[in-house]
Amino acid sequence: MKKHLFTLALLSIAAPLFTTNKPSYSAKPTQPNVLMIIIDDMNDWIDLLDENGPIRTPQLGRLASRGTLFTNAYCSSPACNPSRVSLLTGLRPGTSGVYGNKTNWRAALPSAVTIPQQFMQHGYHVAGAGKIFHHHLAGAFHDASAFHQFRAMPDPPDAPMPQQKLNQLAWYGSPNTDWGVYPADEQNHVDVRTVDYCIERLNEDHGKPLFLAAGIFRPHMPFFAPASAFTKYPEDQVTLPLLKEDDLNDIPTGGKKLLSAKKWFWDGMMKAEGRKPGSWEASVRAYQACATFADTQVGRLLDGLDQSGKAGNTIIVLCSDHGYHLGEKKHWEKFALWEKTTHIPMIVVAPNVTTPGSVCEHPVDLTAIYPTLNELCGFTTPYKLDGVSLVPLLKNVDATWKHPAVMTYGRGNHAVRKGPWRYISYADGTEELYNHQTDKAEHNNLAPQKENAAVIARLRKFLPKVEAKAASDLKKPKSISTK
């Protein structure tokens, strides 16, 4: 990929780790505003990252033209809760013990200062809407103390829900597995309401700098988007992922164990396909429509920011929480350590720091966002963060960078992405190795080949040295207001 995006733009832990003091600061008059946009489940099949990708994201391209696009950005964990906890606390799952979607992250990290709290303590007005923390059982996962103003995403998000599933296929008894044109009135879509709320906050005078978090739920399942999004993907022109029938033959026991835990997702899709041929294609089409609809909401946010007069003094950070499989390796959803589940879009716009339209190819992961914002805003780090600030790369995308991207899913299962290599080490000691120069789809596991032993030894040095025990799951969920 080219180093600049002008053409694209034109075309479209444990408690002792933390300090317990919570000092109060007054923000400097010149402090920048911050707009953080977190998209749910958007993978790398978008044209911003893959010139042959079928998913059109012109608004992400528009945003990238304002700052730095990281083409090799990765999640910390391919699941919503551990990924978002890592992003918002700056701590990897191996440090926090937050490995799963049901983990009570605040009980595991009682003294952690989340990014919104960090800005609140430094004199910012902090507002947000949508899915920022993990939304399921929202009252326990959401951190109300981190916001002055917040509009929670309803749980379920698509309220009022249809009287019945749009497809009546019921793969495995969950409304999350549905897809189709919904709602009839675009203004009732959960992400439209989230963005509306955020635009209102942008147009308010808070008397202090603003930190605003916008959580866009699509393309998370169910794949519901208005008709306007589906018209961009004609039914007779749907691009399906490449499915290699023997792709799992060289996957070791550790990978197969992870895969088997979520195998019912793909099995459910195949059952739906058997009952109604074309269901897989229809669902993939719906994912593409939802991803483009999410992109449209990013554009609305940018319009709102520009119209507010705050754009010239606003840092923008956009990322997805993790990637997504749509059938590759006979897998559906996330919950794996391959490229498709972990590779994400990430863009940073920092006025007077980033070069508009710049592209950074160094591998980075979501633990970098917390220290980056700290450095850009002149904050003192509240405790030792696991990530490294990206400011050197924001100033010069070709700066020396020795840090890999590291991903974790479940205790003992890790992936390292550095240069052309993806290395995966499982808890049972089995391994995978892929060379993206010759095998971007990760069809050929090179780990068993003796000539790759030196590469594996080099990459193993980057595996997390800390392996915290898994924190307890949430026991007593509760709800919060969605107003």
pLDDT 10s digits, 131-179: 999 874 445 678 888 999 999 887 677 765 555 567 756 554 566 788 9
Question: Is 426 within a domain?
Answer: no
Q: Is 134 among the catalytic positions?
A: yes
Query: Could you give the 3-state DSSP secondary structure of residue 252?
Result: coil
The amino acid present at 118, given as its one-letter code, is Q
Q: Residue 176 belongs to what domain range?
A: 6-13+32-406
Question: Among residues 396, 430, 220, which one has the least CA distance to residue 320?
Answer: 220
Query: Is 80 an annotated catalytic residue?
Result: yes
State the Cα torsion 128-129-133-138 to the nearest 10°. 130
Q: Which residue in the list 75, 122, 125, 134 is annotated as catalytic? A: 134
Q: Is residue 476 part of a domain?
A: no
pLDDT at 152 (0 to 100): 85
Does any domain span residue 472? no
Which residues on neighbouring strands pair with residue 223, listed in sequence order?
179
22 is a domain residue: no
Its pTM stands at 0.92
Q: What is the pLDDT of residue 215?
A: 96
Task: Please give the pLDDT value at position 470.
Answer: 92
Q: What is the pLDDT of residue 424?
A: 98
pLDDT at residue number 1: 47
Instruction: Report pLDDT for 419.
Output: 95
| Per-residue pLDDT at 166 | 74
Residue 412 lies in a domain: no
- Note the pLDDT of residue 164: 57
In a domain, 213, yes or no: yes
> Can you give the pLDDT at residue 382?
94
Residue 424 placed within a domain: no
Residues 99-141 have pLDDT tens digits of 999 898 988 999 999 999 999 999 999 999 999 998 744 456 7
Q: With a cut of 50, which residues of the chain have pLDDT below it? A: 1-24, 136-138, 172, 477-483
Catalytic residue among 75, 80, 290, 377: 80
Q: Is residue 459 part of a domain?
A: no
pLDDT of residue 177: 81
Is beta strand 343-349 parallel, antiparallel or unpaired with respect to 314-320?
antiparallel
The answer to whether the beta carbons of residues 402 and 363 sit under 8 Å apart is: no
Q: What are phi and psi of 274, to 5 degrees?
A: -70, -40
CATH of the domain at 319: 3.40.720.10
* Helix (H), strand (E) counts: the chain: 16, 17
List, as own/partner pairs, every contact residues 416-419 make where C-beta atoms lie below 8 angstroms and the sequence separation is at least 24, other chains included: 416/459, 416/460, 416/462, 416/463, 417/72, 417/74, 417/339, 417/342, 417/363, 418/363, 418/459, 418/462, 419/363
Q: How many domains does one find in the chain?
A: 1
**pLDDT at 43 (0 to 100):** 97
